[in-house]
Amino acid sequence: MLRTVLPMSKSLSPALSSTLNGSCQAIAPQRIIRAEQSLSQCADLIQPYGQRPLVVGGEHSLAVLQPYLTEVSGLELSVAHYGDDCSEASLKTLGGAVTRHQADVIVGVGGGKALDAAKLLAHRHHCPVITIPTSAATCAAWTALSNVYSDAGAFQYDVGLPRCPDLLILDYEVIQTAPQRTLMAGIGDALAKWYEASVSSGHSQETLTIAAVQQARVLRDILLQKSATAIAQPGGDEWRQVVDATVLMAGVVGGLGGAQCRTVAAHAVHNGLTHLSPTRSSLHGEKVAYGILVQLRLEELLQNNHLATQSRHQLLKFYREIGLPMTLADLGMEDVSLKHLQTAAQVACQPDSDIHHLPFTVTPEQLMAAMVSTTSPMADSGVIPGSPSAEVCP
């Protein structure tokens, strides 16, 4: 039986949105379907949004969806491969496919980059968008945000969208076909919601921001408590709860918090690492998970924050238990040169970087010190000479 959630009313018209003078906030998809075999009703679910869907995805995801697409009747359907990244070149090619097919709805299928491409494509062509995640690796199926990369996979910028997807279809059977590694990556990405939002927005007095930060804390607790069982028992009840946490609840945090509930150093580290070719083999959430440890290490090194030390070691234990990366070597970067590491640190510390949402200044050199010491023992206070905390350390 399909479980349907209708969290929000219909999207505001462009005219009404403009009269609100920027006060319109994209919180959730218009409609969410979450169930096993929900894609067996693919045609019925798509038809209310358009008759000429363009399905955007990668080779693997499109192959997963193919059995369901062959059963679609009454729709003039076309399929387009998004390439390796959500890049401007890829979006230009996809834009041509939209025009040629005269698509009136975009259906994004796959992981974060495919869904980001579909959302941004739909926005640019004024079409509804339906998101169908094929793994639990990110909350991209939910959010009003697209990340844009270079053709080589280097992060370039993100685009805030005026609304969340019109429909999100979460089929647990499809999610279960994804490699288990994708769920672990999704856990890492979702964990960052707490460690970043609590730093950037933990002192906010705005009601929705307070709600978002508290939801991020609950999300963290769910993941810490249930992830090991979920990974050990795919398809089980706790597995399903963790999938809901990484795909849906993580999206709730971003929706409620909006621009006020910001990403911080964990995602900045991810963005820097994407500029190094060896990280092509690591997933978004894996780099973000490592980035959380780097952020906590920065709080130790630059603020002598003992709570950050405790949190880092709690996470190290958790990472070992479920298999998340703790070091550059775990990301396949054991041979990275000092020059390349400096490049990643400089990208992460650019003037417009999220790392500057930390309550203290970070230089590339300080970031490099944190990046190579994520597993340092608790006894090592490791305060960097010249840092704000150096004067008060023994």
* Beta-carbon contacts of residue 377 (< 8 Å; ≥ 6 apart): none
Task: Decide if 384 is inside a domain.
Answer: no
Same structural domain, 172 and 27: yes
Give the domain-ending residue among 201, 223, 258.
Answer: 258
| Domain termination residue (choose one: 146, 178, 210) | 178
Q: Are residues 40 and 165 in the same domain?
A: yes
Q: Specify the number of domains making up the chain.
A: 3
Instruction: List, in order, residues 6 or more apart from 361 with CB less than 8 Å away.
Output: none
29 and 173 belong to one structural domain: yes
Alpha carbon distance 371, 203 (integer Å): 27
CATH number at residue 224: 1.20.1090.10
List the beta bridge partners of residue 53.
105
* Claim to verify: residue 301 and residue 196 sit in the same structural domain: no
**Would you say 123 and 162 are in contact if contact means Cβ atoms under 8 Å apart?**
yes
Any domain includes 166: yes
Residues 201 and 236 in one domain: yes
User: Do residue 196 and residue 211 come from a single domain?
Assistant: yes
Residue 237 forms part of a structural domain: yes
Domain residue limits at 219: 181-258
Looking at the chain, the whole-number percentage of residues with pLDDT higher than 90 is 79
What's the pLDDT score for residue 9?
34
> In whole angstroms, what is the distance from residue 214 CA to residue 194 CA?
8
Does some domain include residue 383? no
Check which CATH number belongs to the domain holding 161 and give it: 3.40.50.1970
Exposure of 153 in the CB half-sphere (CA atoms within 13 A): 15
Provide the H-helix boundaries in the chain: 14-19, 42-46, 59-69, 88-101, 112-124, 172-176, 180-201, 207-232, 237-244, 250-257, 265-273, 284-303, 306-322, 338-348, 364-371
pLDDT under 50 in the chain at which residues? 1-22, 381, 383-394
The dihedral through the CA atoms of 326, 331, 333, 339 has a sign that is negative
In this structure, the answer to whether residues 140 and 28 fall within a common structural domain is yes
End of a domain among 178, 201, 222?
Answer: 178
Q: Collect all residues with Cβ–Cβ distance below 8 Å to 245 and sequence separation of at least 6.
A: 190, 219, 222, 223, 226
Antiparallel, parallel or unpaired: β 53-57 and 105-110: parallel
Q: Which two tokens stand for residue 174?
A: 């499809």
pTM over 0.85: yes
Tell me, yes or no, whether 130 and 162 share the same domain: yes
pLDDT in tens, 180-211: 999 999 999 999 999 999 999 999 999 999 99
Burial of 81 (0-12, 13-18, 19+ CB in 10 A): middle
380 within domain boundaries: no
Tens-digit pLDDT profile for residues 76-119: 999 999 988 999 999 999 999 999 999 999 999 999 999 999 99
Whether 106 and 211 map to the same domain: the answer is: no
Residues 235 and 322 in one domain: no
What distance in Å separates the CA atoms of residue 34 and residue 187, rounded to the nearest whole number?
Answer: 19
Give residue 272's identity as a one-letter amino acid code: G
163 in any annotated domain = yes
pLDDT above 70: percentage of residues in the chain = 89
Confirm whether 385 is domain-assigned. no
- DSSP letters along 137-176, please? S-STTT-SEEEEE-TTS-EEEEEE-SS--SEEEEEHHHHH
Report residue 129: phi and psi, to 5°. Answer: -135, 135
Residue 393 within any structural domain of the chain:
no
Burial of 79 (0-12, 13-18, 19+ CB in 10 A): middle
198-354-18-122 Cα dihedral, nearest 10 degrees: -110
In this structure, the answer to whether residues 70 and 174 fall within a common structural domain is: yes
The answer on 143 and 26 residing in a single domain is: yes
